[in-house]
Amino acid sequence: MMHPMVTFISDDGKHEDWTVLKPAFENAGAPCVIAVTSGLIGSPGYMNDEQIGFLQNSLGWEVTSHLDSHVALTELSEQEIDRQFRVSKDKLQALGYRVTSVVYPYGANNAVVREIARKYYQSGFQSVGGINAKRVKRYHINRVAIGSYFDFGNDVDTGSFTYYKARVDEALHSRAWLVFMIHPAASEHDDKQQQALIETLDYIRSRKIPIVTVEQGLRSLADGTGKITIDRDTWLRKIADKLRHRLKLIYFFIANDS
């Protein structure tokens, strides 16, 4: 049985990861995951190599790819999609980051994008979709917005602590993986949103739900502590194993029934 878990991914690798998020996550004793656009490291407004290295090596944060340039993959040729995935992974790994997953800019993905992502990454994240219950689609993992770029919702304030807390409760009750998406540099991410983020971190800790990196989350799913296996082949193999085991038992009873 999978246990509920929560992951926070901050997109774009901007300077606010350092100034706004680092103190909050250090205080909560939890890791954050950063999606870094490799071609923008060290540009004005973005973190430099030294800062990203510190977050990974000293605070246990995880670095994921957010491509080499911040583009919508669904608008590129297959060759160009492949290049974005490959170059960003190569550049980030050359800087010493253990990059194993990708966050699609604008959440833009389709079947072609996901198929090419498989060549380079263990998982891919989109920008919407709610909690990940039942079957986690490894190259199509849902996220819930916190602080800015709020979830779409009719008659619901999707930018409040009440909403974030309800998603945590939902993950707890469905034993699901909740992945929050943060953009700390967005203008919507003001003091009030920062406070809601801190309250959410406190609430998760008070419910004793683990705050994990993407790598830790995937490992926990693959370990069998995961509720549902993550790719279809593994899932089919498990069902086949179960059937084979049942058939063996039936055969055993028939054979010994005389």
Residues that bind Zn ion (CB under 5 A): 11-12, 105
Q: Measure the CA–CA gap between 78 and 42, rounded to whole angstroms.
A: 28
Q: Measure the CA–CA gap between 124 and 135, rounded to whole angstroms.
A: 15
- Looking at the Cβ atoms of 104 and 163, the one nearer to Zn ion is 104
- Looking at the Cβ atoms of 76 and 172, the one nearer to Zn ion is 76
- Looking at the Cβ atoms of 11 and 68, the one nearer to Zn ion is 11
- Looking at the Cβ atoms of 168 and 185, the one nearer to Zn ion is 185
User: In whole angstroms, how close is the CB of 120 to Zn ion at the nearest point?
Assistant: 18
Q: Which residue is nearest to Zn ion (CB)?
A: 11
- Looking at the Cβ atoms of 2 and 33, the one nearer to Zn ion is 33
User: In whole angstroms, how close is the CB of 161 to Zn ion at the nearest point?
Assistant: 24
Structure tokens belonging to residue 75: 């608008």
Tokens 């540099």 appear where? 185
User: In whole angstroms, how close is the CB of 58 to Zn ion at the nearest point?
Assistant: 25
User: In whole angstroms, how close is the CB of 44 to Zn ion at the nearest point?
Assistant: 17
User: In whole angstroms, how close is the CB of 70 to Zn ion at the nearest point?
Assistant: 6
Residue 84: other Cβ atoms inside 10 A: 27
Q: Is 237 left (phi over 0), alpha (psi -120 to 50) or beta?
A: alpha
- Looking at the Cβ atoms of 124 and 226, the one nearer to Zn ion is 124
Burial class (CB in 10 A: 0-12, 13-18, 19+), 254: exposed
User: In whole angstroms, how close is the CB of 11 to Zn ion at the nearest point?
Assistant: 4
**φ/ψ (deg, to 5) at 13:** 70, 30
Q: Measure the CA–CA gap between 203 and 15, rounded to whole angstroms.
A: 26
In the chain, the amino acid numbered 177 is W
Q: Enumerate the β-bridge partners of residue 253.
A: none
Helix (H) or strand (E) holding 252: helix 232-255
